[in-house]
Amino acid sequence: MEFKGTTIICVKKDGKVALGGDGQVTLGSTVVKSKAKKIRKLYNDKVVVGFAGATADAFTLFEKLEDKLNEYAGNLTRAAVELAKEWRTDKILRRLEALLIAADSSSIYLISGNGDVLSPDEDICAIGSGGNYAYAAAKALLKYSNLTAEEVVKESLNIASSICIYTNSNITIETLGE
């Protein structure tokens, strides 16, 4: 499932997690907003979440994930699994069109309405129309530079914005860790 109109990327390096997204919102082939914030901190700023997809759907999922985090005392793994189960089986939720990346200081997950809760093999996860560009850039930057997680996210999003017409360079980044 790929969504046009955004790039979200999460990188974990040296005990720090950075999650960032561009600010462009498109409707068809028209840019309707250029400074949207597609990422949030949840659960007393211990979890960062970003979305690709329909905005109202994503906000609903942010609220549901925060409820699950509260229910499971901040256990992101359990909250993500329970959210994915509910998302897949609930009549109304299963119609929501979005993907989420959620991370805490030790885990990164891609969560979908198909019931997926995927932890990447590497400490990089990206979604959206520019996700593959940002992922490739982050992979190279992690291998060939000494940039911090936050710097890798910023540069990866800038690279994606120079390639993907649905991604801009109005970047928001949230970090966790030391």
Phi/psi of residue 86, each to 5°?
-65, -40
Amino acid residing at 103: A
9 in Cβ contact with 135 (< 8 Å): yes
Separation CA 81–CA 89 (nearest Å) = 12
6, 26, 167, 172: the catalytic one is 6
Residues 6+ apart with CB under 8 A from 18: 10, 11, 12, 148, 149, 150, 152, 153, 173, 174, 175
Phi/psi of residue 110, each to 5°?
-100, 125
Residue 6 is among the residues annotated as catalytic for this protein: yes
DSSP codes, 16-82: EEEEEE---EEETTEEEESS---EEEETTTTEEEEEEE-HHHHHHHHHHHHHHHHHTTT-HHHHHHH
Residues annotated as catalytic (active site), given as ranges: 6
